[in-house]
Amino acid sequence: MILVAGPASTRLGGEVAGLLGVKELAHECRRFPDGEMEIELRDGVRGRDVFLIQSTCPPVSEHLTELLLLSDACRRAGASRLTAVIPYFGYARQDRRTGRGSLGARVAADLIGTGAFDRLMLIDAHTASIEGFFDMPIDHLTAVPVLAEAARRSVGDNSVVVAPDLGAVKLAREYARLLTVPMAFVHKTRLSGAAVEAHGVIGDVRNRVPLIIDDMLSTGGTIEAAVGALHAAGAAGPMSVAVTHALLVGQARDVLRRLPIARMIAGNTVPVDAAADLHLEVVSVAPLIAAAVRRHHVGDST
């Protein structure tokens, strides 16, 4: 087994390699003056079982290109089997087409398909139906158990798990089951890529302390709208937040600093550091990935 960590997942890849006790393959990514990239492996992979870890986080197009160049280098160098581990899959939210718009998830899936991967591993990829966009087999992993365990000390008898929109209800149900607390959800309408509007809360949150959960936190607009709706519905504070992918783009940090959030928990599927000003704690998904890689390598389905 050989592990290759792409530029977007250097730290996470190092953690996974350490847990597995395997060699992490060195490579060089060169950028030319015109913006083109070239990747060269520093060691051989002929006849080896290669696992390539690379999140397609911002800048999404650049990291997607790096993933494909790495896969091409591994294939041309003679890898016997190639598995892509994509902790965060960019374009996953573009899984439906409206009007004359493009279908980004399908386009991105087709591009990844050119990498000739034998298998793909994703973590909490926004919707389970995303698997239908790919022609290769997919292992869809979830970070919910590890995040729920980290959130447990913030949960009490008067807590409630809250999905900030209908799309996160399935995740909220799993958090609620693991933490043995009730759940509710916010009825939300997205106005643009950064703006959302909350219409109300479905479920009993009065005098309860919310744990707001989601698969990703991008601009912070969804969390901000959920907090406002929960306050209007009589929820108590301070609230907590748990997300798998903390993208924190745009004005997200400024938005979150304004909110009455006592604790925020995020996975390290994308590069993110703990931040005291955001009460942000980072929980590693490396053990989750290492376990899945080990099972796949030895052919264990359990």
Q: Is there a contact between 248 and 217 (Cβ–Cβ < 8 Å)?
A: yes
- Rounded Cα distance between 283 and 244, Å, is 9
The tokens for 77 are 């160098």
Catalytic residue among 126, 188, 245, 263: 188
Task: Establish whether 23 is a catalytic residue.
Answer: no
Q: In what order do the strands lie in the sheet with 138-141?
A: 23-24, 2-5, 49-53, 81-86, 119-123, 138-141
- Rounded Cα distance between 163 and 226, Å, is 8
Sign, Cα dihedral of 211, 260, 280, 245:
positive
- Rounded Cα distance between 236 and 225, Å, is 16
112 CB neighbour count, 10 Å cutoff: 24
- Rounded Cα distance between 274 and 263, Å, is 11
Length of the chain: 302
Q: Is there a contact between 23 and 17 (Cβ–Cβ < 8 Å)?
A: yes
Would you please indicate which residues are annotated as catalytic (active-site) residues? 188
